[in-house]
Amino acid sequence: MKELGYGAEYQYDHDAEGGIALDQTGFPDAMGERVYYNPVPRGLEIKLKEKLDRLRAEREAARAAKGR
């Protein structure tokens, strides 16, 4: 499959700064950004929401820098 170009632009998360390839979603661009989890404002989920919000903002900035 590599000889056909599949995965040519794949970024291995563990090699990226912070352990997350911010400009890679794993889904086709045509699908857009999907949200599958929305933490509720109580307990540990408060901290999870803060982290998810930060990562989403960083992802948007990384994608904007690439012109996506």
> Was domain 2-65 assigned CATH 1.10.3720?
no
Question: Rounded distance, CA 68 to CA 63, Å?
Answer: 5
| Domain spans, the chain | 2-65
User: What pLDDT digit, counting tens, does each position of 17-30 carry?
Assistant: 888 888 777 788 78
Burial label, 22 (beta-carbon count in 10 A; 0-12, 13-18, 19+)? buried
Which pLDDT score is estimated for 68?
Answer: 67
- Mean pLDDT throughout 5-24? 84
**Count of H-run helices and E-run strands, the chain:** 1, 0
